[in-house]
Amino acid sequence: MCDAARPGSLTDAERLQSLLPQAVISIDVSAGDVRVMVRRECIVDVVRLLHDDPELQYTFFCECLGVDYLDVHTGASIQGKGHRYEVVYNLCSLVDPATGALRNRRLFLKVPVPATDPEVPSVTSVFGGAGFPEREVYDLMGIRFSGHPDLRRILMSDDWSGHPLRKDYPLGGERVQFPGGTTGPSVGESVVQHAGESFTGRTASALGDVE
Amino acid sequence: MSAKPATGSAIRTLVGMAAANALGITLDPIDETTMVVNMGPQHPSTHGVLRLVMELDGETIVRCTPHIGYVHTGIEKTGEYQTYMKAVTITDRMDYLSAHINNLAYTLAVEKLLGIEIPPRAQALRVMLSEIQRIASHLVWLATHALDIGAMTAYFYAFRDREKLLDLTEMMSGVRLMPSWIVPGGLRGDAPEGWFERCAAVVDELPMRFGEYETLLDQNPIWRERTQGVGCITVDECLNLGVSGPTLRASGLAYDVRKVAPYCGFERYDFHVPVGTFGDVYDRYRVRLAEMRQSREILKQAIETMPDGPVRVGDRKVAPPPRAELDTSMEALIHHFKLWTEGIRPPAGEAYVPVESPKGEIGFYLVSDGSNKPWRMHERPPSFMNLQALPRLCQGRLIADVVAIIGSIDIVLGEIDR
């Protein structure tokens, strides 16, 4: 694992900043990981530069994910962030373009996304591999990706309402949605209305006789 | 399976224009001679609950669209409501064929947040457990992949040998599939008496077994016909689609996290990374078979060089004190109580540590807000990313090749859907 040594990806992040100064908000290094905060409207240009630039060659699309920073108790974002969501792109450069040798340079690009307009340009035009992860972020976090060729739900059913990984989406207590607008019981509700099989164990009250 | 001649509307309904665009295939003009066939979600060769909608021209696949999510259980959401120690147990259930390695990937991310180093013996045991798991997972792949193509015998042999490896896990942790034995701070416990001897016996036996599988499959002309030249993919396509693991290596790039970003002291073991040339189903088979041999080499070296010492860190904020200490030390009692009521509290931050799973690169992206539960727990699921290559691999191939191709990318739907 990386220690005090300067990570190679920091050099790449600085090159990115010098080539696209308007796109980079900040560069943060912690525990050997380099995270670049990128303006939302510039993400496609940044990703394309990282992919195409002969010195950078970030050709491996590792993944992307969404993070919701909403604190449901205060209604504000935690850690004093001015935005509710972040989309994190995890890109790798696996081959040194100079020597052809294997290397492992990893950059995390972070895009701040406001709660009022959760939409980010899709990077599918650069990385075909962003197709599934962006659908997943849309499905579970409710962040839309403009320009995505097929932005459908991927893990939840097509007619699901709500985005489960949002912090204001409850873990339990919601009734289970089924296709066709029907709902099943929520966690804690009695599933079977006869003795001995009540979910909460309140068999008698489920039968309606003794409390 | 039912097949009906597709009209334009039938194709649009089942596949969708947008899906067609995503796959980079032009839909118009609609060919009246194609038909749409649905495969799965319950089909023996989809390795779980994967549904494929395929548009066929005769027997040739024009377009293939995977539909997933049938076993989605909200593991990432559940993880946000568990303490760091409890969340280990749900990582087992993602890729249920490589539970140790899921535990390891999660644990390393937590340890990176905590900034702790674990004792050498725990590291070496983690290496052993992950290589045992890798061979066991590859054996399931080999068995089911061969069975899909029609080579039934290999199935029984591979499962027989997998059982011996699972016995090792059971001997150590008490369970075969969901051990949760690798936890933040080390391992839950040391290897029991006689474990290394038993492990050595299995390790000695393995090369002969690998030879058996090779004889069963490689010298079978049907196996070669069904796999060679089928489902080819290049390195550039793999990288662009986020494909990693044996599927990427079979195309020729020796990207193995254990080599390029070693964790748990993998740099101390002598092994090489097998690569293929053509990136077809056969190369992926050869790569995995060679990988099992390399894992066996690592196991052998690990047994010989196993260091002594504790298997958990001494930091009482992470690992509980030994039971005997509780009787004499008030401090120990407090630590014990705090650990079991509150759990560990990593400082606020983010961490991701890549790990080589049998399927590819796995890693957990953890966001901590300084509390005792992860603010966000996201898995980078190798099977999910590898599945994206399936439409590309199937396009233009015969429908009979689909089962061979699905088998060769080695997906586990529990991890895809999470």
Q: Quick check: B15 pLDDT over 50?
A: no
Q: Quick check: B46 pLDDT over 80?
A: no
CB contacts under 8 A, B 314-353 vs A, are 348-353
Strands A24-30 and A33-38: antiparallel
A59 touches chain B (CB under 8 A): yes
What pLDDT digit, counting tens, does each position of A146-197 carry?
Answer: 999 888 889 988 888 888 898 888 776 667 777 777 777 666 665 555 444 4
Q: How many residues does chain A have?
A: 211
Domains and CATH numbers, chain A: 8-156 (3.30.460.80), 170-211 (no CATH)
Q: What residue in B sits closest to A92 (Cα-Cα)?
A: B239
The per-residue pLDDT for A8 is 80
CB-based burial, B252-290: b 16+ in 10 Å, e otherwise:
ebebbbbbbbbbbebeebebebbbbebbbbbbbbbbbbb
What average pLDDT score do residues B361-388 get? 92
10 Å CB burial of residue A17 (0-12, 13-18, 19+) is middle
CA distance A169 to chain B (A): 10
Alpha-carbon span B104 to B97, nearest angstrom: 14
Q: What residue in B sits closest to A94 (Cα-Cα)?
A: B255
CA distance A204 to chain B (A): 31
Q: Quick check: B1 pLDDT over 50?
A: no
What average pLDDT score do residues B88-99 get? 90
Q: What rounded mean pLDDT belongs to chain B?
A: 86
Beta-carbon-side half-sphere exposure of residue B116 (alpha carbons within 13 Å): 27
Q: Quick check: A138 pLDDT over 90?
A: yes
Percent of chain B past pLDDT 70, that is, above it, reads 92
B260 touches chain A (CB under 8 A): yes
CB pair distance less than 8 Å for B388 and A67: no
The per-residue pLDDT for A53 is 86
* Confidence band of A30 (pLDDT split at 50, 70, 90): confident
Alpha-carbon span B398 to B225, nearest angstrom: 13
Q: Name the residue among A62, A63, A155 with its Cβ closest to that of B417.
A: A155
The per-residue pLDDT for B224 is 87
Q: Pick the more confident residue, A9 or B144.
A: B144
What average pLDDT score do residues A49-72 get? 89
CB pair distance less than 8 Å for A164 and B78: no
Token couple for A36: 């670049």
The per-residue pLDDT for A104 is 85
The per-residue pLDDT for B120 is 93
What pLDDT digit, counting tens, does each position of B298-350 carry?
Answer: 999 999 999 998 999 888 888 888 888 888 989 999 998 988 888 899 999 99
The ipTM estimated for the assembled molecules is: 0.83
The per-residue pLDDT for A196 is 46
The per-residue pLDDT for B14 is 45
The per-residue pLDDT for B363 is 92
Q: Quick check: B290 pLDDT over 50?
A: yes
Alpha-carbon span A100 to A96, nearest angstrom: 5
**Strand ranges inside B128-208, DSSP E:** 182-183, 186-187
Q: Quick check: B23 pLDDT over 70?
A: no
What average pLDDT score do residues B197-218 get? 89
- Measured CA to CA in angstroms, residue A39 lies from A32, A121, A142 at distances of 23, 11, 19
What average pLDDT score do residues B250-265 get? 90
B375 touches chain A (CB under 8 A): yes
Q: Quick check: B269 pLDDT over 80?
A: yes
* Confidence band of B4 (pLDDT split at 50, 70, 90): very low
Q: Quick check: B370 pLDDT over 80?
A: yes
Q: Name the residue among A30, A78, A171 with its Cβ closest to that of B81.
A: A171
Q: Quick check: A22 pLDDT over 50?
A: yes
Q: Quick check: B27 pLDDT over 70?
A: no
What pLDDT digit, counting tens, does each position of B165-175 carry?
Answer: 999 999 999 99
Under 8 Å between Cβ of A94 and B260: yes
Q: What residue in A sits closest to B69 (Cα-Cα)?
A: A155
Alpha-carbon span B392 to B63, nearest angstrom: 9
Q: Quick check: A29 pLDDT over 80?
A: yes
Q: What residue in B sits closest to A88 (Cα-Cα)?
A: B365
What average pLDDT score do residues A21-32 get? 87
* Confidence band of B102 (pLDDT split at 50, 70, 90): very high
What DSSP state is assigned to residue A165? T
> With contacts defined as CB-CB under 8 Å, which chain B residues touch A1?
112, 261-263, 353
Domains and CATH numbers, chain B: 1-70+386-418 (3.30.390), 75-313+346-380 (1.10.645.10)
A31 touches chain B (CB under 8 A): yes
10 Å CB burial of residue A177 (0-12, 13-18, 19+) is middle
CB pair distance less than 8 Å for B369 and A132: no
